[in-house]
Amino acid sequence: MYPRIIINKEKFRHNLKYLLDICHKNGLSMMAVSKVFCADHNLINIMIEENVDYIADSRIENLVGIASVIPKVLLRLPSIGDAERVVKHSDISLNSEIDTIKELDNRAREFNIVHGVILMIDLGDLREGIFDENEVFDTVKKILKLDNILLKGIGTNLTCYGGIIPTQEILQKLVYYKKALESKFKLKIDIVSGGNSSSLELLLGGKIPDEINNLRLGESIVLGRETAFGNYLDNTYNDVFTFEADIIEIKEKPSLPLGEVGMNAFGKVPKFTDKGIILRVIIAVGKQDVDYKELIPYDTVSLIGSSSDHIIVDISDSHNIYEIGDTMLFRLTYSSILSLMTSKYITRYYE
């Protein structure tokens, strides 16, 4: 059934094992992040078979369905109203708000469990995390008073909102917090989580500070690339996921629409370049499933536009002859994997 996302399980396993091995050889644990593929069960099973240190996802809904002894980590800061589900379905969550942590403590007490917390510190990327130094110490002081919360560690997230590249200097600030908190409160900070796939460049260059003992990796597993500079990693696959859609119309038509141009289906006024008559196909997938700009064709064709349920492709430069019912194959980006895996209209095919 088309459209379908094709998932190569052995390539996924290879990337996962390769990165797990790199982390372990360097003394780091790895949180294997499943959110880009919506915690697909076949891939989660591979994570379990390969015995990753943690399974991490930003959506509690994705963690609910995972049954394993491997600790589950909620990556997105919990909503306070979700505290019950969070303590029930994750072992550890990333947090920055003491009110939410107190609510997690209340809920954990009801279930007679201890919930782990990684306190997020914002080192400049300006998404989640405590920015103010005093607030870090104050929050830890308050956390330590909670019986059903265990401060498992501290962490930071970079190269997400602000695009800030992890450097030794930036990660040294996290090391500073680890040491300062341990000495002030006479405790041991177990996990020092130094970021996501954007920290791999530092790790591979042997430049990550020794005290950083954990990374949370998503994109590098599914696309075989680090995300500070977008470099592909040696010995990994970038085509774990590919996409195939079928052709529902092939016609020669002008490249410029005829008549006065008003708004398109999405309320925007479209712009076109006149290339004369072109050979156009429509593939049966649309904006509702994916942004066409995030599909990378294997063939020498160009994707020129889309509406909710259609993507229009100029195949004038293709060397292939297409017929109705033929399919077109694409490589994917992080964002297209995310949206295609989220769309209920896309079949998943495993090879």
The residues annotated as belonging to the active site are 35
Query: Which residue, 62 or 139, is less far from ligand PLP as judged by CB?
Result: 62
Handedness of CA 55, 43, 240, 343 (dihedral sign): negative
CB of 213 to ligand PLP, least distance (A): 15
- How far is residue 192 from each of residues 17, 236, 327, measured CA to CA in Å? 22, 26, 47
Query: Which residue, 39 or 311, is less far from ligand PLP as judged by CB?
Result: 39
CB of 76 to ligand PLP, least distance (A): 6
- Residues of this chain that interact with ligand PLP (CB under 6 A) are 33, 35, 58, 75, 94, 157, 196-197, 216-220, 227
Instruction: Give phi and psi for 18, each to the nearest 5.
Output: -60, -45
Query: Which residue, 143 or 200, is less far from ligand PLP as judged by CB?
Result: 200
Residues in contact with 245: Cβ distance below 8 Å, sequence separation at least 6, in sequence order = 2, 3, 283, 284, 285, 311, 327, 328, 330
Query: Which residue, 197 or 236, is less far from ligand PLP as judged by CB?
Result: 197
Amino acid, res. 302: S
Distance CA(228)–CA(132), nearest Å, equals 25
- Judging by DSSP bridges, how do beta strands 54-57 and 29-33 pair with one another? parallel
Report DSSP state, residue 85: H
CB of 246 to ligand PLP, least distance (A): 30
CB of 77 to ligand PLP, least distance (A): 9
Question: What residue is closest to ligand PLP based on CB?
Answer: 218
Residue 249: beta bridge partners?
282
Helix (H, G, I), strand (E, B) or coil at 76: coil
CB of 54 to ligand PLP, least distance (A): 11
CB of 163 to ligand PLP, least distance (A): 12
Helix (H, G, I), strand (E, B) or coil at 47: helix
Query: Which residue, 38 or 312, is less far from ligand PLP as judged by CB?
Result: 38
- How far is residue 247 from each of residues 2, 73, 94, 96, 259, measured CA to CA in Å? 10, 41, 44, 48, 27
Question: Distance from first CA to last CA of the chain, Å, rounded?
Answer: 15
Query: Which residue, 89 or 216, is less far from ligand PLP as judged by CB?
Result: 216
Distance CA(228)–CA(328), nearest Å, equals 31
